[in-house]
Structure 1
């Protein structure tokens, strides 16, 4: 018999794409998780995941089982709450947001969604938001959209909003501010600022290390607002999505540093009807070009 624990383990692994990450989220050992997944595959009579040394991804059967699992988890949560006192109307929308969304963009999104919904906002990493979405703790996630080549967004409805490059940001007064681009080796003597919220922190580190750049850091902070304010003040330079640029900073292209990100909404398809008009309105706002920082566009 399939149990709720099987469903929770399946959803955690499907969202994390890793036994290590899924086991950590569930607070179980990897052998326990592996045993649970094996039991579930035996019960459904089919392999649900393809396993290799680097990736865990859903099989075709696993992809078909994913929406069923999400429905089951919602049913379990409804059963948990059955008979309790009626909940107040607020919030009608629990919105999960990755921490690296620029405040001016989030203002636009919340303002539009707030016309129809009372919003509770939850911040987290992409993995945390996907896990919360799978378990029904949030209705909607504003997060990174995965490349379709790496598995896409199986079982989730997707509303793309914008795509943007990561760039180096420097103070307007910086000697390199007038350059169109620089080779990474030219940054070897620069003082840098580390954005702890950066989704490609490891990739960025490998890029500069591979170019022989081992910078000194004037600041390491999880606050993008503080990091960018200190770039504008001349404390150091940093890499960031283009939308995080603020007044007093200018973008500087680094040769070979070609990372990009896609941002959009993810939600369970069964929930979408409740917010279809609001989601369409938000998407139309970003389709009109509200993708980069307003401060950055004003900068000379």
Structure 2
């Protein structure tokens, strides 16, 4: 009997070892363990945002190396060991203009320093990406954090700092969403994004909706400059959340105000401006230049023409 039991245990141990099993210390994380749920918006208990409109947050947190679907692997490879503000975010990606996904969102944890500048009023925000998008959500989260805390952005001259959080209370939530989901959320705040397939600040909710089609494809007004366009998208829609309204071109040939609707046109009231992604494109004497500031008096030259992008 004892010999039979011993042979049985030996056989089971061999099968477990062949399957890749191994000892895991008590309390140590397992590679097969799914991401831990984060606290819901505004506190604990049931998800406080579920009643705001279509879709829901999954409670999962995506970090580097997670959530890689079609197209994301190539984007991850392009950004590996590089500054995301200068490489993969300059590329254009394929995405259907009529894509409509299921409206489930994952919280995204980026790799950029989440603490912000540490100066001025602190805004806490969360980043979420719609499940099923063929885009890299971490790349999105990283550029959001770098853009919001750039000296040329809303953090200019110590006025504000933006802290990226994955749980607990937040002042707003940036969502990267398919065109169909974007339209549904924006419609709930009385905004129609379908005409030009644009983004919006869904002001009746905590959500700032970034249209994934525009994030992937850009706009004719910015030509091939995808990095500049994506930064403009972030600054423009967060600007609405901070209370800024739309502005017009102030003078022919000048940089457009970031709150101008640059996705649609660079011309207003007979004046045509040049594309600009920044609220404060020229750092003043009371500010420090950002790590990737553009030299010279014109930090944002006109982009090269590009026939591929169609707004």
Q: Could you say which structure has the greater relative contact order, defined with CA pairs below 8 angstroms and 6 or more residues apart?
A: 1
Structure ranking higher in helix proportion: 1
User: TM-score band (shorter)?
Assistant: under 0.3
User: Larger radius of gyration, structure 1 or 2?
Assistant: 2
